[in-house]
Amino acid sequence: MAPEVFVLVLCAAIAHAAWNALVKVDGDRLALLKAMALTQFFLSLCLMPFVAMPAIESWPYLIASPTLATAYMLFLNRAYHAGDFSHVYPLARGVAPLGVAVVSIGLLGERLEPAAQIGVLLIALGITSLVLTRGAAGLRDLRSSFHALGAGLFIAAYTITDGLGARAAGTAGGFMAWMALFNAILVIGCIQWLQRGKQRPVVARSGWVGIAVGVMSYGSTWLAIWALTVAPLTLVSALRETSVVFAMIIGVVFLKERLSLIRLASIATTLIGTVLLKFGR
């Protein structure tokens, strides 16, 4: 993987961890997600004149990707209602690279060097093992685990769709702008449905946080989609999910969550996998 791709995907991972932490701690998540979607809707409209039109071959992906991403957001919201940030986030993100690897290597014919394959496995193992740091409580938390696993599978699905779609589009920027526009419309529609009969005024804090989250999410997704056009899907997916390391730092420093030796071992495993990924192809 080229050094510039490696660094930019890591930047996307940091931004991704940050906006997920903001979603977790906000008291009105649906209002925040709506503000996030509205922000991305207007960002896409503003960027339309400056990006190329995606090729017609990419439009099936443009329709599929927002649908999968919306399902991911809904599962993630339910998982955060039921479980801790440090339980939900690692499980959802850890499942994704394995799903992408199975499909991209088994069905799409991607080839990775042994070092890169081991790196992907170590990253997935390190991330998902963070669930076990809560002991028996983590294993018993079936409701949040179910929603987190569902979110992870949707992450894998939309990652593959985004990669194939952006490559078919011939323009990462154009694909991102149209995909984000459709995705925002779907998210807003779903939230309106979930809030039917119980809508309340958006708290100013949720509105401003939603705007910040929208910008961070937009930037991190754009970087990831661009990377998917120049590097193997499996490598980009695995590297992007190292965001869990930054999520753990956020959880410990800002959310006052406990740091244990087992968690440190899980993070170390993830970092070793990241190093192998840097030198693998």
d(CA 131, CA 150): 15
Give yes or no for residue 163 having a pLDDT over 80: yes
Residue listed under structure tokens 């569902």: 150
Give yes or no for residue 164 having a pLDDT over 80: yes
230: exposed, middle or buried (Cβ count in 10 Å: 0-12, 13-18, 19+): middle
Closest CA to 75 of 132, 180, 158: 158
d(CA 221, CA 211): 15
Contact status, residue 235 vs residue 1, Cβ threshold 8 Å = yes
User: E-strand spans in the chain?
Assistant: none
d(CA 18, CA 104): 28
Confidence at 170, pLDDT banded by 50, 70, 90: very high
Lowest-confidence pick of 55-64, 119-128, 131-140, 269-278: 131-140
Tokens of 40: 């991305």
What is the CB-side half-sphere exposure of residue 84 using CA atoms within 13 A? 19
Tokens of 224: 């990831």
Closest CA to 128 of 157, 154, 99, 103: 99
Range of the domain at 15: 3-279
Give yes or no for residue 142 having a pLDDT over 70: no
The rounded percent of the chain whose pLDDT value lies above 90 is 31
Q: What is the pTM of this model?
A: 0.84
| Contact partners, residue 97, CB within 8 Å, separation at least 6 | 120, 123, 124, 156, 234, 237, 238, 241
Q: Mean pLDDT across the chain, nearest whole number?
A: 83
* Span 183-203, average pLDDT: 77
**The one-letter amino acid at 272:** I
∠ CA 86-37-148, nearest 5°, is 30
State whether residue 83 is helix, strand or coil. coil
Closest CA to 210 of 38, 66, 11: 38
Q: How many CB atoms lie within 10 A of CB 6?
A: 18
Burial 20-54 (b: 16+ CB within 10 A, else e): bbbbbebebbbbbbbbbbbbbbebbeebeeebeeb
Lowest-confidence pick of 153-162, 221-230, 244-253: 244-253
* Span 209-237, average pLDDT: 92
Q: Which DSSP letter does residue 51 get? A: S
Q: What is the total count of domains within the chain? A: 1
d(CA 255, CA 246): 13
Give yes or no for residue 226 having a pLDDT over 60: yes
d(CA 206, CA 201): 10
Contact status, residue 43 vs residue 219, Cβ threshold 8 Å = no
Tokens of 14: 């940091």
pLDDT: is 222 or 33 the higher one?
222
pLDDT: is 262 or 116 the higher one?
116
Lowest-confidence pick of 57-66, 75-84, 212-221, 264-273: 75-84
**243-253 and 85-106 helices cross at what angle (nearest 10)?**
180
Model pLDDT, residue 158: 94
Model pLDDT, residue 197: 66
d(CA 1, CA 75): 31
